Chains A and B, each alone.
Chain A
Amino acid sequence: AQSVAQPEDQVNVAEGNPLTVKCTYSVSGNPYLFWYVQYPNRGLQFLLKYITGDNLVKGSYGFEAEFNKSQTSFHLKKPSALVSDSALYFCAVRDGGYQKVTFGTGTKLQVIP
């Protein structure tokens, strides 16, 4: 079985400050990890993914995520938040042997001007 947890329903950060959106996962095999962003009344947009290799993954819009195998985490980060980053963020995981992808419950990011 595979699962993913996003422990924070909402994260508030001041514009210009660094942001972190947390994600932890559980898989029985090798994890494939994804971050998506959803703006209001829109579908999900792919941000970045970890497959293998470098633990620090860089993605769209200046976001990056760090894969930590010992802590089973894949936190999303950005050095300097923008008001336009305010949205709903989803972490997702696929166990290497599975075909389905499991999504977290989402974290609402609010960047305060």
Chain B
Amino acid sequence: GAGVSQSPSNKVTEKGKDVELRCDPISGHTALYWYRQSLGQGLEFLIYFQGNSAPDKSGLPSDRFSAERTGGSVSTLTIQRTQQEDSAVYLCASSLAALKGDTQYFGPGTRLTVL
């Protein structure tokens, strides 16, 4: 079946512009995660959705970052007034739930470059 998909695959924007990154999780997966991976770095947790529960936003680095998940499926990560330090690969993952041994399945990522 289809895996996690993300769009666009690459995004180049100018400093100060807003960007939207999209994630389509695997059908039936109730948990969805966003991570940021800067060049040569590990994964930085950003936000997590589980079903209809309030999202865990504890990893969002500033109030310029926000995310929503409509209908328990597709998620959009929005970065307002982008800065050069926002340049990174943004990865989305989904899992059946967010319990114990549930495996996260990752999308290919969106590479964001802020000029």
Contact = CB atoms under 8 A, between A and B. Distances in A.
Interface string A89-113: 0100010100111111110000000
A94 B100 contact: yes
Contact of B43 (A94, A96, A99, A103): A103
A43 B106 contact: yes
Given A99-B48, A100-B48, A45 B100 contact: no
Given A51-B100, A51-B101, A43 B107 contact: yes
Contacts of B50: 99
B103 interface: yes
Contact of A101 (B41, B91, B104): B104
Contacts of B108: 42-43
Interface residues of B, number: 24
Contacts of B104: 34, 46, 101
Contacts of A22: none
Interface string B93-107: 100001111011111
A44 interface: yes
Given A43-B106, A99-B50, A105 B42 contact: yes
Nearest to A104: B42
Contacts of A90: 42-43
A99 B91 CA distance: 18
B31 to A, nearest CB: 8
Interface string B1-24: 000100000000000000000000
A43 B42 contact: no
Interface of A: 32, 34, 36, 42-46, 49, 51, 90, 94, 96, 99-106
Interface of B: 4, 31, 33, 35, 41-43, 45, 48, 50, 56, 91, 93, 98-101, 103-109
12 contacts: A34-B103, A42-B109, A43-B91, A45-B106, A46-B105, A49-B101, A51-B101, A99-B99, A100-B56, A101-B33, A103-B45, A105-B42
